[in-house]
Structures are given as C-alpha cells and as structure tokens.
Amino acid sequence: MVKVDDMKNSLRIDHSMDDNLLEQLIATAESYVVHAVDSQLGKQEYEKYKQFDWAVSLLVQHWYINQQISDVEHIPFTVTSLIQQLRGSV
C-alpha cells in the first residue's frame, strides 16, 4: 500500500502542505489502476502484487510533477506496462 510518507520521500518533499493533495492523488491512482485492470475486484485483491504499488506510485509522481501542465494527456508507459502485467496476474 502506497502511503503519503512514501510519496513525499520519493518526490523529495520535506513539508506537509501537499499531504492532502498526495492523499487524493494516491486514492485516485489506486482507483485508476483497479478500474484499468478489472473493476469487479476490490483494491484489497491488488495489494498483494508489487506491480500495483509501483503503478500507483509512478502515477502519483507523474500527476504531482505535471499538475501545472494542462496538456499532459498520456499515462507513462511504465504504468501501462504494469497494468498489463496485473491483468495477467489477477
């Protein structure tokens, strides 16, 4: 499970002003990955797969870093690849 402190460490954030934003991004990324793989399963079913945490983490990082850029429409290839792996594992 991806936690705010993990994301802060990964993004090198040393303040708490964006904690709520990171919580929202984590929840949204988890939902995105779950629905991209198989929306019939709950988040708990995915938490045993390392690919799930990594996809969520990469997606949160991407959205956080690019939050000021309005024309970023693509999902990073690595996230797409991890979603494909999860589809085969789940």
- pLDDT tens for 73-87 read 788 899 999 999 999
> Looking at residue 71, what is its pLDDT?
63
For the chain, residues with pLDDT lower than 70 are 70-72
Average pLDDT of the chain?
A: 91
> Looking at residue 75, what is its pLDDT?
86
Total structural domains within the chain? 1
For residue 68, what are the domain limits? 4-89
Q: Which amino acid is at 47?
A: E
Query: How far lies 72's CA from each of 14, 41, 54, 67, 76, in Å?
Result: 26, 29, 20, 9, 10
